[in-house]
Structure 1
Amino acid sequence: MSGRPRWQLVSLALALAGAGVAGYLTLVAYDESLLVCGLGDCATVQNSPYAKLGGIPIALLGLLMYLVLLGLGVVRWRLVHQTELLTSANTSIALAGTLFSGYLTYLELFVIHAICQWCVASAVIVTLLLLVEGWGLRQLLRAETSALVSAPAPPRQRRQQPAP
């Protein structure tokens, strides 16, 4: 693995899994006959007015989010010097996705009164992504802080007294 942290690989795997789930739900949004639901009432959720935002399937927005997370993860893998910035971006995107998934789960439970197993899977995946990315960002910031603390202080320069 050439010395790269495992959390980055875990993040890539989660983003890929999320893209798979959201990609499937995007297909279902355009062809409901593809829907397979073993638990819950996925059809009720998929046909609710909350399944689209401005005419765009929520699943498509989720797919785009996961693809961006996956893309940034790949770029981070290649551009090691940008790891902190890209991890900050991924953490922010995963936080937004987790908050939106929480809102959608609230709608499923208390407004639609139906649960979609695929939506729950996506909510779990994006929450795990947030935890992994947040942990990775914490590790990066901790290492940076340790480097700053352990670096020798630059020599003090004597202030020159103004000439009388």
Structure 2
Amino acid sequence: MSAVIRPPHALTDPTRIRALASIDFDNPALRAALDKIAQRTAALTGLPVSMVTLVLDTAQLIVGSCGLDDSWMTAAGGTPVEWSFCANTVTTGRPYVLPDTAHSEQAASPLVTVDGMASYAGVPITLAGHIVGAHCVMGLTAQPFTPEQLDQLRGAAAEISDLLRQFSQPTSAN
């Protein structure tokens, strides 16, 4: 019998899931704005990949990105939550930084072993008082992240949170 993977409670919180469900994340205007923010973040941080993710209980949705081009992640629209670095940002509520993914607790993730993501930094995105996702950058080489790069991520994450509010339907959780 195979083991059942159970996500941390933070990912399954019903009010957080309602906040996620309120987002019109298929709206082309929202997607374009999130892609633009991801492009700007990649340029300002000097990293080749930048993403805006919404982390569900079983999957990570990529709702804005730069640098993924025609990758399988773009085609799939996300990753399983078990592979997600951003899920750690959501469950801890803090920035999650991996200067060298090959020597981290996530070294076995296909994002490292197949896609070659060698460094990661992500910060929380909030909506209605809940951490719903992360804004992150990834590098193809191991590298430290500077306070300025993390400040760029935080500033963009605040902008993303404002956009998500604009593209959300009010719920009892909002």
Asked if TM exceeds 0.5, the reply is no
Query: Which protein is richer in strand relative to its size?
Result: 2
When normalised by structure 2's length, the TM-score is 0.28
Higher gyration radius (CA): 1
Query: Which protein is richer in helix relative to its size?
Result: 1
